[in-house]
A = this chain, B = another copy of it.
Amino acid sequence: MRAGEFELIDKIRRRANVGPEIRLGIGDDCSSIVVPPNYELLTSTDLLLEGVHFCLDWTDLFSLGIKSVAVNISDLAAMGAKPVSLHLAVGLPANFSDEQVEQFLNGVFAGLECYEVSLVGGDTCRSEGPLVISATVQGICHKDQVITRGGAGAGDDLWVSGTLGDSGLALHFLQMNRPLSAFLAERHYRPEARVVLGQRLAIENLATAMLDLSDGLNGDLSHLLRASTVGARVELERLPLSNEFKDELRIDQSLFDLALCGGEDYELLFTAKPAMRDLLEQLSVEMNLSLSRIGEITSTPEFDLVMASGLIYQPQISAFDHFGSTKDKSRE
């Protein structure tokens, strides 16, 4: 039999570190944070449901714990904020064992440690259906340094960190029962929130607008453009692709759309003035993280995906929509 709710909360509480901004952590009706003068408090919530966002046949619980934390923190990275605290609510299926709960929590705590975030509160209950995970992360950012989606202007360069489509390719392989390489498994199960990059861009005032890529470049770019009331011209030959992705592309060219619409890249997409090119290239070298200039912002509200030939490309699959099924995604 599994331990009761209060026993589990006590267990979690004993493992929770408490950072300097935390006045009250787990154990009261609310957590309490002290926000330094001239800083804002940023918050994001993610709901992850078994069967929709993840499948327990395809992921181990430790990886799921880490990923739940990372994808939530990625939203803070996208504003340039420093992550501070996490509230975690979980609905545990009745047949979950203490060992399974432990594996999941070990992953959560590994993620928290990686980003130096304190677990400060949450909720635990039984679920009569699937595993339910709700994570709410809070962070701080100087009021003059918050990078929203709405600041892009015509003539700005469009940049993206890392490589695109790896996580989508991994999901595609999982759906076909193909084993994953270590690289693809890492990209799919253990995405890294680009927290350091986000903060550097914010503190050094390098970016004009930013978001994180969770639904795929094609869909997420449209959110940034709409918020900034601008358009964009994306040069497809400039999209950063991993060697493994390129290898697969040589065999099946239709996989290219995964780089545009695969989702779960958790890279940062941002805009910057052309005057910042040298500084961004320096930053890329310093951080050992590729930053690719993939296009530019235009004043017309449309955006075009331009091929090397100069022709406009039209993806065959649309953006990731969590109202659609993960398994049916390629048919949407």
Of residues 123 to 138 in A, which have CB atoms within 8 Å of B's CB atoms?
123-130, 132, 134, 136, 138
A122 touches B24 (CB 8 A): no
Summarize A's interface: helix, strand, loop or mixed: strand
Task: Count A-side interface residues using an 8 Å CB cutoff.
Answer: 71
- Point out the residues of chain B lying under 8 angstroms from A5, CB to CB: 321-323
B44 touches A29 (CB 8 A): yes
Is residue A211 contacting chain B, with contact meaning CB distance below 8 A? Answer: yes
Interface 1/0s, chain A 1-25, versus B by CB < 8 A? 0101110000000000000000110
- Point out the residues of chain B lying under 8 angstroms from A91, CB to CB: 47, 49, 52, 132
- Point out the residues of chain B lying under 8 angstroms from A27, CB to CB: 149, 227
- Bound Cα distance from A141 to B29, whole angstroms: 14
- Bound Cα distance from A51 to B94, whole angstroms: 12
Report the minimum CB–CB distance from A143 to chain B (whole Å). Answer: 7
- Point out the residues of chain B lying under 8 angstroms from A32, CB to CB: 40-43, 79, 141, 146
Of residues 76 to 96 in A, which have CB atoms within 8 Å of B's CB atoms?
76, 78-79, 81, 85, 87-92
B37 touches A138 (CB 8 A): no
Is residue A304 contacting chain B, with contact meaning CB distance below 8 A? Answer: no
With A42-B31, A138-B43, A321-B4 already in contact, the answer to whether A49 and B128 are too (CB < 8 A) is: yes
Chain B, Cβ-Cβ closest to A319: B6
B126 touches A322 (CB 8 A): yes
Could you say how many copies of this chain the assembly holds? Answer: 2
- Point out the residues of chain B lying under 8 angstroms from A122, CB to CB: 45
Of residues 40 to 74 in A, which have CB atoms within 8 Å of B's CB atoms?
40-47, 49-53
Chain B, Cβ-Cβ closest to A75: B29
- Point out the residues of chain B lying under 8 angstroms from A31, CB to CB: 42-44
Q: When the two chains form the complex, which single residue of B46, B124, B211, B323 contacts A322, counting CB atoms closer than 8 Å?
A: B124
- Point out the residues of chain B lying under 8 angstroms from A138, CB to CB: 41, 43
With A5-B322, A42-B32, A79-B30 already in contact, the answer to whether A47 and B125 are too (CB < 8 A) is: yes
Is residue A106 contacting chain B, with contact meaning CB distance below 8 A? Answer: no
With A30-B75, A148-B28 already in contact, the answer to whether A90 and B126 are too (CB < 8 A) is: no
With A75-B30, A149-B29 already in contact, the answer to whether A126 and B52 are too (CB < 8 A) is: yes
- Bound Cα distance from A148 to B29, whole angstroms: 8
- Point out the residues of chain B lying under 8 angstroms from A139, CB to CB: 30
Is residue A212 contacting chain B, with contact meaning CB distance below 8 A? Answer: yes
